[in-house]
A and B are shown apart, each in its own frame.
With several copies, the nearest count.
Chain A
Amino acid sequence: MAPLDLAVQEEEKLSKPTEKIINDFNIQVATVNGSGSQTANTVLLRSIFQMGVPVSGKNLFPSNIAGLPTWFTIRVSKKGYLARREAIDILVAMNPESAREDIFKLVSGAMVVHDEPLSLKSLRDDLVYYAVPFDKLVATVCPDAKLRRLVKNMIYDGVLAKLLGIEMPEIEKSLRKQFRKKPKAADLNFNAAKAGYEYAEKHLTKADPYVVERMDLTKGKIIIDGNSAAALGCVFAGVTVATWYPITPSSSLCESLIEYLKRYRVDKETGKASFAVVQAEDELAALGMAIGAGWAGARAMTSTSGPGISLMAEFAGFAYYSEVPVVIFDIQRVGPSTGLPTRTSQSDILSAAFLSHGDTKHILLLPASVEECFTFSLEAFDLAEEFQTPVFVMSDLDLGMNNWMSDPFQYPTKPFHRGKVLSGEELDRVKEFARYRDVDGDGIPYRTLPGNHHPRAPFFTRGSGHNEWAIYSERPDDYVRNMDRLARKYETARQRVPTPAIDENSKAKVGLIAYGTSHWAVVESRDRLLAAHDLETSYLRLRAVPLNHELEDFIRRHDRVYVVEQNRDGQMHDLIRLEVEPEAALKLRSVRHYNGLPISPRSVVEQILAQEGID
C-alpha cells in the first residue's frame, strides 16, 4: 500500500463516527468513462445542493475517451468546505476493474452501493454493503435495450436518495433542469431513479450513519465550473477575437465561450457576429492571431494549457516587447512536456512569469474561485489594454473543469478600460506622437490603432529594437531607454493588479500564503490547525504577479510563513524569494503538493505540523 493509503486509514480513525453523520461526508462514484455517468452524478450533486447543503464535485478521469476507470467525488460539507477531502465514506462501485482497490481505500464503517454481481463483501467486514441488481432494474424501466446503458446510472441516484434521505422531488427538479429540452429523456431517467428508490425502500435496510438533512446554506448560490465562469467573464469583458487550439483541460473554456457568444453576441436582426472565435492550427498560431487582433484594437484572448504555453514562448516575448495587449488563459495541468493531461497542478507559474527568452516579465492573475474566474477575466482585458502587454490568467484543471458552488456573479459596474489610445482628434491636439515614449512617467506609452487615418497615427511595430518613435534602431542608448521603460511599466503594474486578500490574526506567529485553488485547502487547514493543534495562523492569498508590497509587510509581521502550492519546485515560493528582501525571505517555508490530484487539507496540515515540529 502506498504511504497515501496509510494516511487515509489514519484520517479515518480521527474522524470515525459513532452516531449519525449529517451533511458531512464524501461520496465517490466509481465507473468507467464513456459509460454515461455524468448526468447521474450531476443530478446527485445538484439535488443535495438544492436541499441547501453545500457540495462540491470533483471528476477524476483518465486520459482516454472510453472504457477506463473514472471517479466522481461529491463532498457534502455543512461547513461549506470545498477542498478535496481524501477519505471516502460512501462508494458507488459500478466498475469491476477498480472495485477491489476502491474498497480498500474506504474509511471504516463506510457504505458501499454496488452492482449485485460484484461480490465485494469478503474483502472487508467493517463496511456496510448494499447490493443493487442494476441490470434487472434498468430492464424493467427501459424497454429499449440500446438506451439501458445510458439510463442505468440514474438508478444509483434513486438508491442513494432513499438511503441518505435526499428528497426525490429535488432529484426530479434537477433532472428536469438537465433535460430542459428533452422531457422524454427526463421521464425515462426519472423512472430509473424511482426504480432505484423503490428497490432500496423494499430491499435495503439502512445500516450506515450517513444522512443528508435540509439546510439553508445554498440559497441564491450557483454551481458552475471555472472554465464556463471565465468564458462568461470574457463575454462581459467584450471579447471580440478569441483563438484556441484544443487541449485538455482548457478546451471547455473556448467551447463554452462559443455557446455564450452565440447566445448574446449575435445580432438578432442580421444574424451577424460581433466576435470571431478561431480554432487555430496550433498554439503558436493561436497566440499569433490573438496578438494580431490585440494590435489592431480588438479585445483579444487565447486559452491553453502547459504545452501550449511552452509553444507560445516566442510570441509572448514579442507581445511584451512590441507592447501588444492580449489575454492568455493557462488552465494548468500536470507538466512537464505533454504531462498527465487530466491531472491538476500549479506548475506553470515560473514559466509564465518569465515566458520567452531575454529579459521578460509578465503580469499573472491568480483566480482561486469560479467567481474570480469571472471577475479576473474582466480585469485581465482591462489590464492588458491598460499596460499594453500580455496578461496571463492562471487557472487550473481543478478550478476549470470541476463543479464549484459560488455566490452569483455581479454585473460589472466598471466600464471597459481601453488604456492610452489616441484618437485622430487627440492626435490633432498633441504636438508630437512618439509611440514608445514615457510621457506620464509610468512607463506606459500612448498608442494609436490601425484604422486611425490621422497622418501622424501610423507606426511600425516590431519585435526588434526601436527608438521612441517606433523607428528601427540599434543604438545602445535607445535600447537601454526602452528596456528601462518596460521595467518601469512593470513596477506600475505592481500597484495596479489585484491586491492580496489578507485574513490577519493578531495572535498568529505563523502566516500562510497561497493562491489559486490551493486556497480551499488552506482555509480548511487553518481551522484544523487551530482546532486540533491550537495553532493560530494568518493568511494572505496572492491574487496577482507582480507581487504587491503588502506581501512583504505580511511576511514581516509573522515569524514563519508557509507558501502553499501545487507543484514540485515551490515556484511561487521562489518568486516571492526573488521579490522580497532577504530578511523577509528568511521566514519563508514551502508546502508543496504535486501528485496530480487537487491539494487536500490533510497534506497541508501534515507538512506544516512537521515543519513546526508539532506531532
Chain B
Amino acid sequence: MSTITILPAPPKKTNVYRGSKTTLCAGCGHNAISERIIDAFFELGIEPARVAKFSGIGCSSKSPAYFLSQSFAINAVHGRMPSVATGAILANRNFFALGVSGDGDTASIGIGQFVHMLRRNLPIVYIIEDNGVYGLTKGQFSATADAGSKSKSGVTNDLPAIDTCALAVDLGATFVARSFSGDKKQLLAILKAAISHRGTAMIDVISPCVTFNDHEGSTKSYSYVKDHEEPLTDVDYIPYFENIDVDYDPGTTVSVRLHDGSHVRLRKLDPEYNPTSRRSALNLLREAREKKEILTGIFYLDTSAKDFIEILDLVDEPLASLPQELLRPPQEALDEVMEELR
C-alpha cells in the first residue's frame, strides 16, 4: 500500500500573505474568500505576524491554512471556535483576530457559542462561509439552508433557515454584514471595514458549495445568488479619513469613523435605511427574507460599544506576557490572608 503524501505542501515563505495550496474543490466559494482575506490584510498593510487565525471544523474551517501562512492559527473542534478565540484574545489583546467558520459550524452545532460571542462583543472578525450545507461531510443541510430547498440527493429541507445577520443584530452585535464570495469589490471593502472595527465584526458571506449545493432550489448556489443579489450598501474603504458623524440623510452617503481612525462609507440605497438602528436593520433583513431576496452590505454598525477587553478592563500589555513580578503578589499579601484565616 502506498504511503500518503504530505497534504498540503508547506507554505511558500516568499509571500507571507499567501498560504499553502488549497485542498478545497476547484471553484469553491471559500477559495475566493481566502483571496479577499489576503488582499484585505495586504492592502491594509497588517503584518501577518500580528494576526491570529481561528476556525472550527469544515471545508470553510480548513481555509485558514490557505492564507496568511505567517500567522499563528488554531483549528479547533467543531462549532466551538468562538470560545477558543475568546480565550486567546483575552490572553493577548494585541492580536488582529480572524475567525473563519461555516454555516454548519456556526448555525448548527455552534449556535450557542456564536450567540454568546456576540453578546460579549469579542474583538474579532468572524466570517461565516455560508453555503447552506455541510460540505466536508458531503452535503447534508445546515441550519442556514432555506426552507424548501432540495439537496443533491433529493431531500427537501422543511425547517426555516436561521438568518445569522438578523440574529446578530438582535443579540447586540456591533458590526453585522453580508456579502457574496463572488463579489470581489464589496467583500474586500467589507473585510477591510471589519478589520478596522473594534468588537465583533460578523460577516455572513454567501459562499456556494460547487459540489453539493450548486443546483436549483438552493438559494446558496452561484446562479441563484447572481439572480437574486440586491446590494444594499456600496462599501468603499477609505483609510484614515476624518469624518466621524453617522447622522445622515436618506438617499445620501455616510462615512463612519472606525476605531483605528479609518472609515467606511455607506451608500444608502433605501432612503429609510439607517445603519445605526437595530430596528431598521432587522426590518430590512426580514423584509428581504420575506421577499426571498439576499441583502448584502453592512446592516448595522456601532462604533461606541465597549468590546470584551474593555468590559473586563484589562491592563494594556497582553496578559500572556506579563512577568512573574506582576502576577505573583508579594509575601505580604499571603501573610495578610493567612492572618485573616487564623
Direct contact of A and B (CB under 8 A): yes
A binding-site residues for B, Cβ under 8 Å: 2, 4-5, 8, 28, 30, 34, 60, 62-69, 71, 73, 84, 86, 88, 97-98, 101-102, 105, 177, 220-224, 232, 235-241, 243, 245-248, 251, 260, 263-265, 267, 270-276, 278-300, 307, 314-315, 318, 322, 337-338, 408-409, 411-412, 415-416, 449-451, 453, 455, 457-464, 467, 469, 471-478, 597
Q: List 22 A-B contacts (CB under 8 A).
A: A60-B4, A64-B24, A64-B62, A65-B211, A101-B2, A245-B109, A276-B319, A291-B87, A292-B84, A293-B88, A296-B87, A297-B92, A307-B77, A338-B77, A409-B338, A416-B328, A461-B74, A462-B74, A472-B65, A473-B7, A476-B3, A477-B3
Query: Would you call B44 an interface residue if the criterion is a C-beta within 8 Å of the partner chain's C-beta atoms?
Result: no
Contact A455 B85 (CB under 8 A): no
Q: A247: shortest Cβ distance to chain B, in Å?
A: 6
B binding-site residues for A, Cβ under 8 Å: 1-8, 10, 13, 16, 20, 23-26, 47-50, 52, 54, 57, 59, 62, 64-65, 69-92, 94-95, 108-109, 111-113, 115-116, 134-138, 140-141, 143, 211, 312-316, 318-322, 324, 326-329, 331, 333-335, 337-338, 340-342
> What chain B residues lie within 8 Å of A4 (beta carbons)?
3
The docked-state distance in angstroms from the alpha carbon of A299 to that of B81 is 20
Nearest 5 Cβ contacts at the A-B interface: A292-B87, A288-B83, A238-B327, A297-B320, A298-B91
> What chain B residues lie within 8 Å of A251 (beta carbons)?
137-138, 140
A28 in contact with B87 given A273-B312, A299-B327 (CB within 8 Å): no
The docked-state distance in angstroms from the alpha carbon of A287 to that of B83 is 8
Contact B2 A271 (CB under 8 A): no
Contact B136 A65 (CB under 8 A): yes
Contact of B2 among A28, A264, A270, A408 (CB under 8 A): A28
> What chain A residues lie within 8 Å of B337 (beta carbons)?
232, 260
Contact B113 A288 (CB under 8 A): yes
The docked-state distance in angstroms from the alpha carbon of A338 to that of B72 is 19
> What chain A residues lie within 8 Å of B78 (beta carbons)?
282, 307, 338
The docked-state distance in angstroms from the alpha carbon of A65 to that of B28 is 11
A97 in contact with B5 given A273-B313, A274-B322 (CB within 8 Å): yes
Can you name 13 extra interface pairs (CB under 8 A) apart from A64-B24, A276-B314, A474-B7? A88-B2, A241-B87, A241-B90, A272-B316, A286-B83, A288-B77, A297-B320, A307-B77, A318-B76, A415-B324, A449-B320, A461-B73, A464-B75
Contact A272 B314 (CB under 8 A): yes
> What chain B residues lie within 8 Å of A274 (beta carbons)?
314-315, 319, 322, 326-327
> What chain B residues lie within 8 Å of A416 (beta carbons)?
324, 327-328
A289 in contact with B70 given A315-B80, A453-B47 (CB within 8 Å): no
Contact B3 A2 (CB under 8 A): yes
The docked-state distance in angstroms from the alpha carbon of A458 to that of B70 is 6
Contact A292 B74 (CB under 8 A): yes
Contact A281 B112 (CB under 8 A): yes
Contact A297 B65 (CB under 8 A): no
Contact A101 B3 (CB under 8 A): yes
Contact A463 B76 (CB under 8 A): yes
Contact A281 B3 (CB under 8 A): no
Q: A346: shortest Cβ distance to chain B, in Å?
A: 19
> What chain A residues lie within 8 Å of B64 (beta carbons)?
460
Contact A476 B4 (CB under 8 A): yes
Contact B83 A264 (CB under 8 A): no
The docked-state distance in angstroms from the alpha carbon of A297 to that of B91 is 7
The docked-state distance in angstroms from the alpha carbon of A288 to that of B85 is 8
CB nearest to A252 among chain B residues: B138
Contact B329 A265 (CB under 8 A): yes
Most buried by B among A280, A307, A450: A450
Contact B134 A246 (CB under 8 A): yes
> What chain A residues lie within 8 Å of B137 (beta carbons)?
246-248, 251
> What chain B residues lie within 8 Å of A69 (beta carbons)?
2, 4-5
A597 in contact with B1 given A65-B59, A246-B137, A459-B72 (CB within 8 Å): yes
> What chain A residues lie within 8 Å of B108 (beta carbons)?
281-282
Contact B92 A296 (CB under 8 A): yes
> What chain B residues lie within 8 Å of A461 (beta carbons)?
72-75
The docked-state distance in angstroms from the alpha carbon of A288 to that of B116 is 13
Contact B1 A73 (CB under 8 A): yes
> What chain A residues lie within 8 Å of B20 (beta carbons)?
471
A453 in contact with B5 given A281-B113, A338-B77 (CB within 8 Å): no
CB nearest to A472 among chain B residues: B7
> What chain B residues lie within 8 Å of A247 (beta carbons)?
137
CB nearest to A469 among chain B residues: B10
> What chain B residues lie within 8 Å of A287 (beta carbons)?
83
> What chain A residues lie within 8 Å of B322 (beta carbons)?
238, 240, 274
> What chain B residues lie within 8 Å of A281 (beta carbons)?
108-109, 111-113, 115-116, 143
> What chain A residues lie within 8 Å of B335 (beta carbons)?
411
> What chain B residues lie within 8 Å of A271 (beta carbons)?
313
